Amino acid sequence: RILEVIELKELIMLLIEASHRSNEVVSNEVVLPRAGGESEITIIAVAKTLRDKNNHLMGVVTVLRDVTREKEINRMKANFLSTVSHELRTPLTSILSTYELLLQGSLGELNDDQYEFITLSKGQGEFLDIDIQPELPKILADEHKITRLFKNLLSNAVKFTEHGSIQLHIRRVQEGIQISVQDSGIGIPSEYFDKIFEKFFQVDSTSTREFGGSGAGLAICKAIVLAHHGRIWVESELNKGTRFHVILPFTPYNHSEGSA
């Protein structure tokens, strides 16, 4: 009769499992729909059988505990930590820029020991090729956010290119200014082209997990581009490289949408 009352499959399976396990406590996490379908409730269901002195099954005691709030707090904590870790990339990028100035001698001559240390600290040593069309028209934009856009796209290219080159192209097109960042890294499967711009999404594969990161960078890029009424998309081929394209149109920047 109980199967006629309980419609949730997970609870039914929990009761069946408990009834087959003598004196054992079984538990499972169950997601329940809220009335109206706006959101879901997460509960922990714990079940244990009741038996008489002859070990005959009398019933199953089930306790349900609502852990929806706990789940939400854990999600918020994970998002916060991911965002903080992503923000640390900005000062690290500044440090790398200082290394470049030191190597070029812009900050004075280096002695042999200093030069050796700075050279080793550069690590991967990718080659950056910059191609900017001359006499580009000016556009109305948030300087801080566009700088962040460049940093995120370039740091993403560096992260996934162990050995090879990175190219930055900026030119005028009919819609506005087009920015392209191309690398010769591991590439992205085509089924993830749309998902990679979702907040904290990461391609779930061994080759990408080893590079770390929170998955927030491209979502931030998308938010910045949309705030400028632009568009962003990706082209990629596995094991050959990736190219991100951004077009910033000749339209006013919307400050109300510019938070990222």
DSSP codes, 11-53: HHHHHHHHHTSTT--EEEEEEEEPTTSS-EEEEEEEEEEEE-T
Structure tokens at 216: 């927030």
Structure tokens at 111: 């002695």
pLDDT band for position 192 (50/70/90)? confident
The SS3 call for residue 9 is helix
Q: How far apart are the first and last CA of the chain?
A: 54
Q: Is the torsion defined by CA of 188, 191, 194, 198 positive or negative? A: negative
The DSSP code for 192 is G
**Could you read off the pLDDT of 98-153 as tens digits, one per residue?**
556 555 555 556 556 555 545 544 554 456 788 888 888 888 888 889 988 998 89
**Could you read off the pLDDT of 32-78 as tens digits, one per residue?**
777 666 678 888 888 888 888 888 888 888 888 888 888 888 888 77
**pTM exceeds cut of 0.75:** no
Report, as an integer, the average pLDDT of 245-254: 78
Q: What are phi and psi of 56, to 5 degrees?
A: -85, 140
Position 224 scores a pLDDT of 93
Give the highest mean pLDDT range of 22-26, 119-123, 221-225.
Answer: 221-225
